Every structure is written in C-alpha cells, then in structure tokens.
Chain A
C-alpha cells in the first residue's frame, strides 16, 4: 500500500491538526492513518475520533509513540531520529493489516458495590444513593465509620469528628437505596465492568438483627473484658459482645467468638439471659451467611493501617509507658474514650507537665516509608492545641519540615505558635528514661538535634506522642488481586492516571477513593469519594459502556479440537463443543489478553486489534533497514 500523504504538524492533537486529518481522509480518500506523536494512552482516542468524524473506521488509525519512548528518553538526536523512523515504519506496516472494528457495547448494571465504610465509602455510597441508584456498602468491622469515628477533633476547624461524621453514618444506615453489610467481607469478585458478581461473607453476629433493639443490656452484663485493638487502638477495653461505640451504625452488637466465655468454655450465656427482647435476640447457633450480589461498578475505599512504631526501637513504644501513638492519643482526647477525654499519663490520673510530639514516625524515612504521610503535621498541631487547651503542660513539637499546605492550615500553625507551642526542627534520635543529667529523673527524655541552632538537645517530658504514618492496609496486595488492581511501589493502589484520573484504576469498573490511593486528609478523602460516585453515576445513566473490541475468536474450519486453549483462559471464555469437536470463544467473557491466540498450534484463533499479521508486520517495519526507501516516511 503506497503512502499517499505525509506531513509534519506541530500540534496534531489541536482542533486544527485534527481537521487536517479529517480533510485529507475526505479529500484524498485515505484508508489508513498513522499518527506519530505521544503515547497512545494519551491521544489515541483523539485521533480515532478524528478518523470517525471523517467517516473512517477509528480502528484503522494507529498512533505510534515517538515522544515518551523516543524523544524524551534519548540524548543522541541522530540515533533517536533513526529510531523514530523505525517506529513510524512499524506503525505503517502494522496499520495495513488493521481491520474495521465496532466497539462492544455492554449494559451497565445500575447497582454499585462500595467496599469500606469509612468516610470515603460513606460519601461515595450516599452520592450514588441520593441520585436514586442502589448501593451495597460492605464493611469488615461491626459498624461503619472507619478511622474518622475514632478521632476526637478534626483540623483545622476543630470540629468534633463524631458530630460531623455520625449524621452521615445515620443517613447511610437508613437510606432506602443503601444495603449495609457490616461485619462482612468480600470473598470473590467475578465478571467485568458493568456486570460483576460479588460474593460477600456476612460473618455470624450471633445476634438476630430482626429482633435486637440495640438496648445495650447484653454488653453491660457481659462479664468478659477484652482490649479493643481496633476502635480503641489497644488503649481501651470493650466486652466480648459489643458495638464499637455508642453511635455505631448499625446499632446491633456482635459476639467476638474468640473471646466469648460461652464459645471458649461452653457456659455463661449472660447476654442471652438478660436480653429483654421477645423472642430472644442472642443466637449462638448462627452461621456465616454468604450472599451473592450483582453490581455494575465497584468503589474500593478500604482505607489505611497505622504504622506500628514498635518497628522503630529507639522510640521505645510499648517499653516506656508514657509513649503513645497518635490513635491512642485521639482516643484519650475523645470524651467517650477510655479516659473520658482527660489528657493523663498511663496511670489514668496524672496530668502531664510537658508533652513531646514527634512528627514523621515511619514516614519520610527510607528505612520505613519514603513518602510523606501528609496529615501528620496538621494532626500534631491539633494534638498540641488540645494538650495546651486541656492541661497546663508545655508542648514540644519535633518536626523535619512543617507541611501545612491546604486551606486554613497555615493559619492553624500560626495559631499554635501564638498559643505558645514550642517547635524543634530536627529528627528525634531517641526517647529514653536513662538519666544523664540532673532534672531528668522520672522523665522521658527526647534526644534530638535542633538543626536551626545546630545543637543536640535533651528535652525531658512526661508524655510522648508519636505521629505515626499512614500505611497501606496489611492485606492491600491480596485485596487488590481480588479486584484486579495493583499496588505501586509504596503499596498504595495505582490510579489510572496520577493527575487526570485519580479515582479510576487500570481495571475498568473498579474505582478507588480515600487513603487506599495514598495518604490524604478528610476533605481530600471526601472529594475523592464523591468523584468516584460521579464517575459511576455517569456510566449508570448511559446504561451501557463501549469496550475496546479487542477479542479473540476461533475459526471453526481450522480448529482441530485439541483443547489446548481451553485451560489457558482465566475467564472461562472458551467453550468446547463436544458434538462439533471445536472450541468457541464467548465474546462477552473474553477480555482480549490474546494468550489463546498465541497458544493455538493450528493458528485457528485470531485476535482483533493485535492479530498475528499486525504484529508480524510491525516487527518487519521496525527492522526495515533501508530507511531511505521511498515507502518509508522521512
């Protein structure tokens, strides 16, 4: 096929550039188009649309990358230009074999699954439910609310976290369009965008939610006290039958089987004895329930884990009593927490006279996490304010850099400075109780270099708060695999585009919101939850989605019925017809990976978009040595 027309244009992706292509297709009757420009992941759609506008099937257009993969990565201009020529030649040879294709249209199931009932998940669920579509909200813990429910105040406004969160929890809990599955986990995800089948395991609560009124007598009477590692961050206790906190949604308690005396010893049943409902709501015979739900889109909002500061031995967390994590301190400040909101030492009564707050614990440290955890500076400033408000203690902040870069954050920092907080710029070397100087007896000594005055300092305090980093969930990898998405180098889920598409993922139909994508504060989390919802609503309203028509198909004439391909397909898209002794591919299930195409010994399977002919021709083009030839563009 002769090259009919070629030209250089600086901004081919501009409207004028596209018009040029359209004009030439129409006037010169072009049947194929190759654009040598940026990566197809950026502008492929632009040029395909231009072709479609001119009446040419969009799949007859090929975009080859000479920017990301040539001009931006090579210094040797001559060699880079030769490579560009080869890349263009590859595209030209390939496009000859491109076929006209029609996008596959699949219907979008109007229901949505939101995994994770923190503020990100709640926001996403409410936005979709308010628009009139059904949402399943699945949460691992007995209640929705997530980390935000554990906090006392939120920076920089010092709103009470519960006061702004619980109305949303109640709304989500009572919304006619939201089905809550708490104390539940996603077990399996099958299908593809528009049509997922999700298996959810509802763990046995041992409480009948149809009759339970949430009166709370059961947990009052339960004789077994358990350290609450989740909601109270190990700082407080709960019972073996419990709701994590009074405003829990739903209100029904769960029995923690591992710690319940009846499940361990076979006697007790205090909860059952005292349950006032008729019939009794406690049911020790309850089993896990497995439900299957159909959804069109999924939002993953499973949040973060807190960095365990025990991993930094020199901070002596858990070895020295009065070293606290940020979450423990949040619980301490909370009026409904273990100390009723009093800031006191581990003994439960002594108010501290001096408090040290250490920033960047487990973040901005290449031994642990290289990234900035983004919220710890503001959180530490909030802690400083709370300590100064509620006690007479002096507060020392140990920071590397102060990062207060969102609306009203810097003003909050200034406020803490004016309130008399002390700031030491330097990374803390050690927290110790080993006395070296008089006056340090009975104190915790924070040893740090003050980089602003260039001196080592030892500051004796009574209480140390470690502003721990956010970390990806310990099971983020496995969960990601379940949903077909991957984690980046730091363990956070990879978004489709770091700037322009921070809520979608590489897997169509799976969206991410909140800290699963990276550390962020509450406003950013809420925005992302809402953004994910907006993306999904747009799709639901379209009713169907166009998929790339990259699919495999079997030529029955050539198929020998060897069945090699049958076991290769992870999506079970290949059926074997025993009667005809041939295999057939279900285009609705085929995802277009092409593994079967490569495996067929008879060459009976062809893959649209990436056919053997196309790839062989591209190899030829890339290796054409006589680049001066007439048929190759210069």
Chain B
C-alpha cells in the first residue's frame, strides 16, 4: 500500500473538561491530525456503550472516550462509571473479534489542551497501525474526500 491509511475516529468528549481542552487546543493553535471528529456529551457517564458500537459499525476505525480526571468529575463520580463501561466495551469488542485497542479512554481536564492534542495524535497513529476496521460499509476515508472529482472540487474551493 503506497498511500497512508487515514483512519476515521469518533471522539466522545465531556462538556466540562475534554471538550474545553479541545477548545483550548484550538485557541492555542496546537496541531493534531484531522482524523478525529468530536461529539459533545454532558459527561463521560452519558456514554452509552451502544454509541461506541454504533460508531464502529457505521465506519469509524476507532473511538476515543474522554472525561474528567478521576476525582474531578463535574458530576462528582460519573467518570468512574465511564471507566467501568470502557472496560466492558473493550471486553465485548474482544468477543466480537475486534481489537479492543480501537477504543481508548483519556482523562483530560479543561486546562489540558496539550494533552488532548498529543493523546489524539498518538491514538490516530495507533489506529493507523491497526489498519481499517472494515465493519461498516466502508472505512478508511477519514480526512480524505470520497472521490477524485470531489477532491478536485475541494482543492479549488480551498485555494479560492
């Protein structure tokens, strides 16, 4: 394969910490690969495991779950519930025959834009190593336009 595989990653972020960390990464103009697309939840405790399976089934190659550091949850202790579900999700994936490493849990406070960017960067690398999941109808277009025609169109738009 000559062209580098570009995974698509869905990130579930907590409104109070990691979503703000992502904002902070932006404000500070930190750089990380465009393979991740974020969904804001009020708390990592809101993460229904079926969201993760849905994302993987619909074409994501990896899922990053982010929440407040242990002991710093905005809702006191709900990130611990996210941790338990994370472990459960990993075991279930293993049962499905899917690499559990496709799901990652990251604690990032609102002040940790740098950590958010670096964890995202390394996760994209990890998923790139694992290769496409190929569970849904297709995967592995993350960050790349679907067709050549469209790529050209985009190029001209971006240039303009």
Q: Closest approach, in angstroms, between the C-beta of B127 and any C-beta of chain A? A: 15
Query: Judging by beta carbons under 8 Å apart, are B42 and A506 in contact?
Result: no
Q: Closest approach, in angstroms, between the C-beta of A170 and any C-beta of chain B? A: 39
Query: Judging by beta carbons under 8 Å apart, are A78 and B155 in contact?
Result: yes
Interface residue count on the A side (C-beta < 8 Å): 59
Known A-B contacts A90-B37, A506-B110; the reply to A619 vs B145 at CB < 8 A is: no
Contact of A623 among B43, B136, B158 (CB under 8 A): B136
Residues 584 to 603 of chain A near chain B (Cβ within 8 Å) = 591-595, 597-599
Q: Closest approach, in angstroms, between the C-beta of B16 and any C-beta of chain A? A: 5
Query: Judging by beta carbons under 8 Å apart, are A570 and B60 in contact?
Result: no
Q: Closest approach, in angstroms, between the C-beta of A86 and any C-beta of chain B? A: 6
Interface residue count on the B side (C-beta < 8 Å): 68
Q: How far is the CA of A597 from the CA of B48 in the complex (A)?
A: 8
Query: Judging by beta carbons under 8 Å apart, are A68 and B43 in contact?
Result: no
Residues 62 to 89 of chain B near chain A (Cβ within 8 Å) = 68-69, 71-72, 74-78, 81, 85
Give a binary string over A344-370; 1 marks a CB under 8 Å from any B CB, 0 the rest.
000000000000000000000000000
Known A-B contacts A610-B46, A616-B54; the reply to A625 vs B138 at CB < 8 A is: yes
Give a binary string over B22-48; 1 marks a CB under 8 Å from any A CB, 0 the rest.
110111011111100111111101111
Most buried by A among B69, B71, B117: B71
Query: Judging by beta carbons under 8 Å apart, are B145 and A594 in contact?
Result: no
Instruction: Give the residue name and chain of the A residue nearest to B49 (CB).
Output: A598
Chain A residue numbers with a CB within 8 Å of B29 are 72-73
Instruction: Give the residue name and chain of the A residue nearest to B48 (CB).
Output: A598
Chain B residue numbers with a CB within 8 Å of A489 are 109, 111-112
Known A-B contacts A78-B158, A620-B58; the reply to A72 vs B26 at CB < 8 A is: yes
Q: Closest approach, in angstroms, between the C-beta of A568 and any C-beta of chain B? A: 6
Q: How far is the CA of A451 from the CA of B2 in the complex (A)?
A: 54
Query: Judging by beta carbons under 8 Å apart, are A486 and B110 in contact?
Result: yes
Q: How far is the CA of A550 from the CA of B154 in the complex (A)?
A: 38
Chain B residue numbers with a CB within 8 Å of A494 are 109-111
Give a binary string over A38-52; 1 marks a CB under 8 Å from any B CB, 0 the rest.
011100000000000
Query: Judging by beta carbons under 8 Å apart, are B51 and A67 in contact?
Result: no
Q: How far is the CA of A81 from the CA of B33 in the complex (A)?
A: 13
Query: Judging by beta carbons under 8 Å apart, are A615 and B39 in contact?
Result: yes
Query: Judging by beta carbons under 8 Å apart, are A74 and B141 in contact?
Result: no
Contact of B43 among A76, A593, A599 (CB under 8 A): A593
Residues 477 to 497 of chain A near chain B (Cβ within 8 Å) = 477, 481, 484, 486, 488-489, 494
Chain B residue numbers with a CB within 8 Å of A87 are 37-38
Most buried by A among B136, B138, B141, B150: B150
Contact of B81 among A77, A550, A599 (CB under 8 A): A599
Known A-B contacts A69-B22, A623-B58; the reply to A83 vs B138 at CB < 8 A is: no
User: Cβ of A459 < 8 Å from any Cβ of B?
Assistant: no
Query: Judging by beta carbons under 8 Å apart, are B147 and A570 in contact?
Result: no
Chain B residue numbers with a CB within 8 Å of A171 are none
Chain A residue numbers with a CB within 8 Å of B75 are 570-571, 591, 593, 595
Known A-B contacts A570-B77, A612-B48, A616-B54; the reply to A628 vs B42 at CB < 8 A is: no
Query: Judging by beta carbons under 8 Å apart, are B55 and A623 in contact?
Result: yes
Known A-B contacts A41-B20, A570-B76, A594-B43; the reply to A616 vs B51 at CB < 8 A is: yes
User: Cβ of A82 < 8 Å from any Cβ of B?
Assistant: yes
Query: Judging by beta carbons under 8 Å apart, are B37 and A594 in contact?
Result: no
Instruction: Give the residue name and chain of the B residue nearest to A87 (CB).
Output: B37
Chain B residue numbers with a CB within 8 Å of A519 are none
Chain A residue numbers with a CB within 8 Å of B98 are none
Known A-B contacts A69-B22, A70-B34, A625-B146; the reply to A81 vs B157 at CB < 8 A is: yes
User: Cβ of A79 < 8 Å from any Cβ of B?
Assistant: yes
Known A-B contacts A73-B26, A73-B31; the reply to A615 vs B51 at CB < 8 A is: yes
Chain B residue numbers with a CB within 8 Å of A486 are 17, 68-69, 72, 109-110
Instruction: Give the residue name and chain of the B residue nearest to A89 (CB).
Output: B37
User: Cβ of A475 < 8 Å from any Cβ of B?
Assistant: no
Most buried by B among A39, A70, A507, A615: A615
Known A-B contacts A78-B155, A597-B48, A598-B46; the reply to A610 vs B145 at CB < 8 A is: no
Chain B residue numbers with a CB within 8 Å of A599 are 81
User: Cβ of A150 < 8 Å from any Cβ of B?
Assistant: no
Chain B residue numbers with a CB within 8 Å of A258 are none
Q: How far is the CA of A486 from the CA of B16 in the complex (A)?
A: 10
Q: How far is the CA of A494 from the CA of B110 in the complex (A)?
A: 8
Q: Closest approach, in angstroms, between the C-beta of A217 and any C-beta of chain B? A: 48
Chain A residue numbers with a CB within 8 Å of B41 are 594, 610, 615
Known A-B contacts A550-B42, A595-B45; the reply to A623 vs B109 at CB < 8 A is: no
Instruction: Give the residue name and chain of the B residue nearest to A594 (CB).
Output: B46
Query: Judging by beta carbons under 8 Å apart, are A73 and B30 in contact?
Result: yes
Query: Judging by beta carbons under 8 Å apart, are A619 and B39 in contact?
Result: yes
Contact of A570 among B16, B78, B158 (CB under 8 A): B78
Give a binary string over A543-576; 1 marks a CB under 8 Å from any B CB, 0 the rest.
0000000100000000000000000101100000
Query: Judging by beta carbons under 8 Å apart, are A76 and B45 in contact?
Result: no
Instruction: Give the residue name and chain of the A residue nearest to B37 (CB).
Output: A622
Q: Show 25 residue pairs from A and B whose CB-CB distance is below 8 angstroms, ordered by the A residue.
A: A41-B19, A41-B20, A65-B23, A65-B26, A68-B25, A72-B29, A73-B26, A73-B34, A74-B33, A76-B143, A79-B6, A79-B34, A81-B157, A81-B158, A83-B34, A484-B76, A486-B68, A486-B110, A489-B109, A507-B74, A568-B78, A592-B42, A615-B39, A619-B51, A623-B136
